[in-house]
Structures are given as C-alpha cells and as structure tokens.
Structure 1
Amino acid sequence: MDPAFESHCLELVARERSGHTAVVEENLLYVWGGYMSIADDEVFLPNDEIWAYDLQQGVWQVFHMSGEVPPSMSGTCSCSLNGCMYIFGGCDDNGQTNQIHCVNLTDGKYTWKKIVHAMGSAPSPRDKLSCWVYKGRIIYFGGYGHKLLTDVDSRKRSFVVDEATWMEDVFWGWNNEVHVFDPMKASWNEPQTHGRAPAPRAAHASATLGCRGYVCGGRVMESRTSDIHCLNFESWTWSEIIPVSTNPVGRSWHTLTAVSDTSLFLFGGLSVDCKPMSDGWLLDVETKQWREVEHPYKNKPRLWHTACPGKDSDVIVFGGSCDYILLVDTGHCNDALVFQMQPYPLFRLCEDYIAKNVRNNERLRKQLHFLPPKLLRAVQRRMTFYRPSKKKQS
C-alpha cells in the first residue's frame, strides 16, 4: 500500500474560541481573535496570529502577523473586500473600541494596518455589530457600546440606554445606526435612511443579497427577537419582512448567510429562554417563507460562532460556544461544520467520491492516473481531507 495512504500526520488545529471573526478568501477560511475560557478566566486569543483552514484539504495553518496589530478582542466585525480582511469595533481589556484595521490575505505577509480616516466621523465604540459589503464600501449596522451624554440624541431614537450600566456622563446601550466606510477614500459617512428602522440591537445576524442588506433577530434591550428587516442600499430605505410561515424562535449570537440569489441560511444562537440552539432555517426573501432545514449537526449547538459562504454554496461554521456563555462559559468549540445548501456539481461529486474511497479501494488507486489532469490534481488535494490524522491543538 502506498505510504501516502498510511501516514498519520500530527496536524495543528486552531484553538477553540467564541466571539472571534472569520472570512473566506481563495478557498481558505481565515480565523482571528475571540476568546476562550481557562479555569474561571476569560482569555483573549493572541492578536498576532491568524489561522487558515484549507477548505479542500481540511488542514490548518497558523501565520504570524506583524505591523500595526490591533488589540486582542472579541465581538469585532469583519468582512473580506478586494483580498483584504477589515475589522471594526470589538471589545478588548479596555472596553469597546471604534478602530478599524485591515490586513492583506493574499500577499503572504499578513501585515496589519491601522486605518486613520481622512474624512467624516467614526461611529462610537461598540461590539457585537454586523456589516454588509456593497460596491466597494462597508456598511455597518447596530451593536452595543458607549456614548457620551452629549452625543445621545433622544429625538433620533437610534440609541437605547442600558439602564443598568450608565456611569456619570457615559452611557452604554444598543443602537440601530448605519455607518458607511469607503476604504478607497478612508472616509466615514452616516447616510440618511428612510422607512421604519429595526429597533436598536446587538448580537444580531446580517447578510447581503444584491443591493439589499438583511438583519435578523438579536438582543433588543432585555429580549431576543426573530424579526427580519431589509435595507435597500440604493434608496437607503428600510422595510420589514413579515413571514407568511412559521418563524424561528427569537435568538441572539446566531448567524445568517446568503446561499443563493434569493435565500438566506440561519443557524444556531441563544434562544429567548437562554438555550443554545442547533436548528437551521432557510428564508426565501421573495416568498417570505421560512423552512427548517435538516442537517447532520443537530447535536452541535452553537452561539457566537462564525458562518462564511464557501464553494458551491456551502456554509462553513467555525467555533462558538455550546453553553449559555453568560453563566457557564466552558463549552467553546474549534470544529468546522460544513453545511451543504445546494446540490453539488458533477465535478465536485466525482472529486469527493474518489478522494473519500481511494484509500480503501486498490482498483480505484490503480486507475488514478487515467483521470484528467485537472480532476487528478483536485482529487490529490482533496484526499488529505479524508486522511486519518492526529490533531495537535495550538
């Protein structure tokens, strides 16, 4: 038997975490930040390393980061734009921040750059917010953070004070503000929106379809919701989607991912009765119908995880907690869950079948060299995904 099929490599695997950030770039899932629990302490993950998971091979790598490295944080908001990962906000040892950093994920250097805006005003410090990307700009929504008393405008109703946390002239609370960052101009602006905006919230989920951004659920003051709102980026008009079918229960710390031109996939979160969730739902934004989805991860509840769109409409969920983190906070995870949301194309089916079965099929191994070169290369890479291995956690 070929030794390649018998090797049991000691492989790295990313540390378990929650409140981290992740993006997919060129078939790699990049994971940065977040925190984990050690004994009774909550410990931020190192800020000078980024983990990359090869979605085809199923192998982790870790890269050292340099430059203007942001502080170790959780609850930051990230996106991928033109090969760069942008992060904004988050909570570090000093509380919420409103700094924005970026790092090029394609040049192999992983050098952080702190962006100093040239125009406009940055949003107030916040975490647990979300963002959309549209026409080269990043559009941020919501979050939990603090403002000076002089910056709170009660007439706008865009900031709801958390009565339990105010201190002197500083107020903490939830917001429903929309802020736009243009990386090319290094500028911030706050567009005038129309229609009825969602209630101020944090720990919600969002996704982009075409020229519209969608917001689902989240923590709204003392409750958790399942409402759906849509922002048109051309007219800056809000509208609420009223489902015509059974709704998922209200939740926070869940994820929402676009899986087609008209559908969004919701997974996990913390329910209104503080139960970690493992249910998956598809929303058709045209018919306004929710449909619960069967999947193989019903025994893997997740909250404050990440979900990224992958190849062939897959959704890759990484990390998060399987406990009610405000009370227990010990069940952080480090596995990558791949949800198949659409039928795979023939090439993908062939690639997966051969890679999965070739190790135990001598006849199939002898016929590998007959494969077309492109398929052979893909199969050889994919074989690593199905190879038995021993994981070494870093």
Structure 2
Amino acid sequence: MTTAREAVMPPARSGHVAVCIGKFMIVWGGYNDKVDGMLVTERYVQPDEIHVYRTDTEHWESLKTTGDIPPGTSGACAVAIGNSMYVICGHTSGGHTNEIYRLDVHSLRWTHIVITENSAKPSPRDKFAAWEYKNRLYIFGGFGVNMGEYLWDDGEFHLDTASWGSVRGWNNQLCIFDPKTESWSKTVCRGTIPSPRAAHALVHRTNSNQAYLFGGRHDQFRLSDLYRLDLDTLTWHRIDVNGEVPRGRSWHGFTSVTDDILFLYGGYSQNEDPLGDAWLFDTVKVQWRQLEVEDKPRLWHTVCYGEDGDILVFGGCSSNILHPTTNPNHRRDILVFRLSPKSLFRLCLDAVVLHKDSLESQWYCLPTLLQERLTLKLKGHGTSSMEQRGRTCVIS
C-alpha cells in the first residue's frame, strides 16, 4: 500500500469488514442492492478489490488483490494481526461459511487457510464478533447452523423458530484461532455467559486482558446488556451500569479509543428504526454517556479507531433494512469522530491544500514524502464530495 494510486471512492455497501493498520483503514466485502423498479436484487461487492482510506491525507485508493480470493461475502468479521488481515466466516452466495482467509497487506495476496475436518472448525455463521488478543484471533456468537458437527465443547445453540423450516439459529460459542499453527481450539467459559445472539458488537479494551460485549439480537429481541470477558481466565461478567443505558440494538459499531473509553455508534432498534446516536462507555466509572452528534443513522456499518486518533464510521445502511419495499440506502461516506482536535501536522496539511492556488508552486521545496502526501490529499479532495468524505465531530 505504499504506491500512490488514483483516488477512487468505494462503492456503497453494508455488511462489510474494515480494519485499521497504521494510517490505513482497509475495507473489504459486503453487499449492496440493484434496484430495478419494484425489484431489489442483492449483490456482493467485488471480492478481488479492497479500498484503502489513508487518515492523514483523507484519501481513498482502490487496489486489486491476487491469490486465493475469497468469494463475495457479507456478515464476516476481519481482524488485523501484524501486517495481515484475516477474514473469517460470513454469508456467501452458497450460504453460511466457516472458511478463513488471510490477506498480506504488502503483497495484496490472499491465502486460503485450509482446514479439512468439520470437527476442527467453528460452525458456519455470520453476524458474529471477532477480535485479537496476544496474536490470537477470537470469535463469539453469530447466526448459522447447529454447532453439533463442528468444533464444539461449550456454548448453546438457539434455533430460529420464527422462520418456517429453518435449521439456523443463534449461538454463544467462543472459539480461538492461532495463526502460527493455523488451527482452531474450543474453549470452556465460566461466569455469567451471555445468551446466544448475533449482530452484536464486542471489542478488546486497549492495553488490557478484557473484552466488552454490548447488545445484539437474541430470538426476536434486540438487547442492551453489557458483559466483560476476562481473556486470561475466559470468565464472563455481566455489568450493572451506573445510570442511563443505550437502547437495545443490533448491527451497531463498537470500538476502543483509549485504555478506559469505548465508543458505540448506531445500529437497529427493537422497533426496527435505524439509529444515529453515539455513546462513550467509561470502563472505570462503569457509566455510559450519550454524545451530542448530528443524527446520521447507520446500521451494519463498521467502526475503526485509527492511528491518528480518528474514529471512522464507514458504510452501512441508513434506512429500514428489513422492510421489503424500502430502499436500503447503503452508504459510502465516512463519519469521523475525535476525542481531541487534529494534530498540528494534519492542520498544516489542510491549510496548504486549502490555499493550493497560492502555495502549490512552492511544494517542490518540501521533502519528497511531504509532497506525496499533499498530492494524495489534493486528489482525495478533488474526486469526492463532502458528503462522500463524510462529516467530522470533535467529542467534548
């Protein structure tokens, strides 16, 4: 990702994955809709393509990948470990999958990690949660087939009885993947284990051995419960929050922004309303605080925390995704939130680009790397509207 490419906006999408590695947010997969009159056809985003957003230049690049390219997928999860992005499970044109792929972000080459025995893999699923701890990859929950024929020692499966003839349902299983041995392991959890669920959000708290789970859908209910998982002992704790709690939701975004602060955005309510609210959770005070932000609903979007301190909300759906006659309004813009203003360096870049008519003739005097950054930033501003680039909010 070091070669400068033409600035290309990513297509609108929902159910995609995104990870931040350094100054880069990498976006892959998901789906959008082709609307022809009253006919709406779902289609997966081109799987051999990734879109990369660079936070310091606010610039998109479209890059082609090679190797064992995964099929088009929605509802997968992605985790960054070192210079690799792992994409796990999800839903494809052939149904739910439990395959795992690794993308080398330098060579842009995919590797399919082949595990042949069903009993050595988690059950096929989507809308689960995944994260990294001590260079291992964890997954929890999701919606898919029964775990009986797959890697299973602990966890429950709850059948979706509302759909006639369904063989799928929700689970609360925790599995661990070791990239060194390229193998999955089953776990036995202790404590107050969350109910089976999907479309929840779980985040590993920065610089700690704790992960936090919020919400998700269990049966016909969208939840507002909060749990903490000790990753060394695999012990779950249900958290009794002091004060106000966000309303129950699924398909929301959740990320860690400091050692003690977690950020929650959007989702889909029990009343099937897209949500545009933002919250901070203080893990020390055990309190939620709602932020005053412009209401821009998003569900099945991604939320990443970048190296420059940006909280990046990308894509997702801004209308009722389950209503049969409603246009889902898949998004392609970025909403940016910050706990503090931009760095002086980034403010200077903004100022130089803003006054390019009078300053561009002098750019040659700058170091080559800085010239390249300014050129990329200028391309990004020249090829995308403010709506596509998104809005910025500094959180006070």
TM-score normalized by the length of structure 2: 0.86
Within the candidate set 236, 242, 245, 1:244 is matched to 242
- Residue 200, structure 1, aligned to residue 196, structure 2: yes
Q: Distance in 1 between matches of 2:384 and 2:253?
A: 30
List per-residue Cα deviations over 1:140-191 (Å, max 9, x = no partner). Answer: 00100002767799x9661111113474xx8311111100000101111112
Q: 1:239 to 1:385 in 2, by over 3 A?
A: farther
Q: Which runs of 5+ in 2 are unaligned?
A: 389-396
Within the candidate set 89, 98, 111, 1:113 is matched to 111
Q: Distance in 1 between matches of 2:233 and 2:147?
A: 31
Q: Is the deviation greater in 40-49 or in 381-390?
A: 381-390
One-letter code of the match for 2:160?
Answer: D
Q: Distance in 1 between matches of 2:244 and 2:147?
A: 41
Structure 1 segments, 4+ long, off by >6 Å, are 148-153, 364-371
Q: Distance in 2 between matches of 1:266 and 1:122?
A: 31
- Residue 58, structure 1, aligned to residue 58, structure 2: yes
List per-residue Cα deviations over 1:78-119 (Å, max 9, x = no partner). Answer: 111111110111011121110111110123xx2211102489
- Counterparts of residues 148-163 of structure 1 (less than 5 Å): 158-163=156-161
Cα deviation for residue 62 of structure 1 reads 1.8
Match of 1:314 in 2: 310
Q: Distance in 2 between matches of 1:390 and 1:224?
A: 36
**Structure 2 SS opposite 1:18:** coil
Match of 2:393 in 1: none
Alpha-carbon contact 1:57-1:385 (below 8 Å) kept: no
Match of 2:133 in 1: 134
Q: Distance in 2 between matches of 1:91 and 1:374?
A: 44
- Residue 190, structure 1, aligned to residue 186, structure 2: yes
Match of 1:81 in 2: 81
- Report the number of matched residues: 373
Cα deviation for residue 382 of structure 1 reads 7.0
Match of 1:97 in 2: 97
One-letter code of the match for 1:358?
Answer: H
Q: Distance in 1 between matches of 2:196 and 2:98?
A: 18
Match of 1:389 in 2: 383
Q: Which runs of 5+ in 1 are unaligned?
A: 1-8
Q: Is the deviation greater in 186-195 or in 256-265?
A: 186-195
Q: Distance in 2 between matches of 1:144 and 1:246?
A: 29
Q: Is the deviation greater in 303-312 or in 336-345?
A: 336-345
Q: Distance in 1 between matches of 2:33 and 2:203?
A: 29
One-letter code of the match for 1:146?
Answer: V
Within the candidate set 335, 344, 358, 2:355 is matched to 358
Alpha-carbon contact 1:58-1:384 (below 8 Å) kept: no
- Residue 18, structure 1, aligned to residue 11, structure 2: no
Q: Distance in 2 between matches of 1:41 and 1:94?
A: 16
- Counterparts of residues 363-382 of structure 1 (less than 5 Å): 377=371, 380=374
One-letter code of the match for 1:384?
Answer: L
One-letter code of the match for 2:301?
Answer: H
Aligned residues with identical type, % of pairs = 37
Alpha-carbon contact 2:59-2:376 (below 8 Å) kept: no
Cα deviation for residue 356 of structure 1 reads 5.3
Cα deviation for residue 369 of structure 1 reads 8.2
One-letter code of the match for 1:359?
Answer: K
Cα deviation for residue 358 of structure 1 reads 2.4
Q: 1:376 to 1:246 in 2, by over 3 A?
A: same
List per-residue Cα deviations over 1:114-140 (Å, max 9, x = no partner). Answer: 102489721101000111200010010
Cα deviation for residue 311 of structure 1 reads 2.7
Cα deviation for residue 220 of structure 1 reads 1.3
**Structure 1 SS opposite 2:98:** coil
Match of 2:392 in 1: none
**Structure 1 SS opposite 2:355:** helix
Q: Distance in 2 between matches of 1:205 and 1:164?
A: 23
- Counterparts of residues 253-292 of structure 1 (less than 5 Å): 253-292=251-290
CA RMSD of aligned residues (A): 2.9
Q: 1:377 to 1:245 in 2, by over 3 A?
A: farther
Match of 2:31 in 1: 35
Q: Distance in 1 between matches of 2:164 and 2:186?
A: 25
One-letter code of the match for 1:228?
Answer: L
Q: Distance in 2 between matches of 1:241 and 1:385?
A: 47
Alpha-carbon contact 1:20-1:32 (below 8 Å) kept: yes
Cα deviation for residue 57 of structure 1 reads 2.3
Cα deviation for residue 387 of structure 1 reads 3.6
One-letter code of the match for 2:137?
Answer: I
Cα deviation for residue 272 of structure 1 reads 1.3
Match of 2:142 in 1: 143
Q: Distance in 2 between matches of 1:156 and 1:47?
A: 33
One-letter code of the match for 1:73?
Answer: T
Q: 1:378 to 1:215 in 2, by over 3 A?
A: farther
Cα deviation for residue 342 of structure 1 reads 2.9
**Structure 2 SS opposite 1:13:** coil
Cα deviation for residue 248 of structure 1 reads 0.8
Q: 1:355 to 1:265 in 2, by over 3 A?
A: farther
Q: 1:151 to 1:385 in 2, by over 3 A?
A: closer
List per-residue Cα deviations over 1:232-269 (Å, max 9, x = no partner). Answer: 11111111121101111111100001010001000010
List per-residue Cα deviations over 1:295-352 (Å, max 9, x = no partner). Answer: 3xx2421000011111332111111000111112430011122111234444444444
Alpha-carbon contact 1:126-1:146 (below 8 Å) kept: yes
